[in-house]
Copies of this chain bind each other. A is one copy, B any other.
Amino acid sequence: MVLCDAPRPRNANATRQAILEAARERFCSDSYDDVGMRDVARDVGVDAALISRYFGSKEDLFVAVLDSCKNGRDLMDGPREDFGERLAREIVYGEVMPCQDDGAGAKMRGLLILLRSVGSAKAMDVMQRTSNNRFFDPLAAWIGGPDAPVRARLAAGLIMGMAIGRELSDGYSSLGETQKAELARRMAVALQGLIDN
């Protein structure tokens, strides 16, 4: 999305930041393979060569984007007894997708980016590292207790799977409003059970 046709003021830091944000937006809505350097460059209104210059390689850009996202830890702030409901609401209703700069879904952004690029061989290394450091491990630490790693995997699995199912089902568009509410309710219960139990 080109925001302005006027020539960008020559400010390396600002441009670098703009590239990072454009890339973040792209990686939020397309997989690693489907995001092209030229796409990101066009969004910023800059030549693609500049991205290589600032960030090195595409993979480095991807890492920088992931680092720029809020830590997965933020998923868990809020009362523990609401965890399931908060997450379920965030996934079933629209706050996940849009990926605005500071929207309600900001805390989901890192996870969303990871989900988008699941299956991309080129991004696998980065993904595995990041998903552990930023998502599984914090979640397990937050859950606590002896079986925390196991329960974290389960909770994360349900969250990821539902987010993907949402993609596959085009935002659960085939479900009516009451069914959607029921889906959110049931997901909240299941999720809460996974971390409480």
Contact = CB atoms under 8 A, between A and B. Distances in A.
Nearest to A172: B153
A169 to B, nearest CB: 7
A197 B103 CA distance: 35
Interface stretch (A13-21, A26-34, A54-62, A65-73): A26-34
Interface stretch (A45-53, A75-83, A112-120): A112-120
Given A120-B34, A147-B182, A193-B190, A162 B153 contact: yes
Contact of A154 (B115, B167, B183): B183
Interface residues of A, number: 49
Residue in A147, A158, A182 whose Cβ sees the most chain B Cβ within 10 Å:
A158
A168 B34 contact: no
A194 B157 CA distance: 14
Nearest to A121: B34
Contact of A158 (B131, B132, B149, B161): B161
A22 interface: no
Interface string A153-197: 110111111101101111010110001001100110010011001
Copy tally for this chain in the complex stands at 2
A191 B6 CA distance: 55
A84 to B, nearest CB: 12
A162 B164 contact: no
A150 interface: yes
Nearest to A187: B154
Interface of A: 30-31, 33-34, 114-122, 127-128, 131-132, 136, 147, 149-151, 153-154, 156-162, 164-165, 167-170, 172, 174-175, 179, 182-183, 186-187, 190, 193-194, 197
Given A33-B33, A117-B119, A147-B182, 11 more contacts: A31-B120, A33-B120, A115-B119, A115-B164, A118-B118, A136-B169, A153-B165, A156-B161, A157-B165, A158-B158, A158-B161
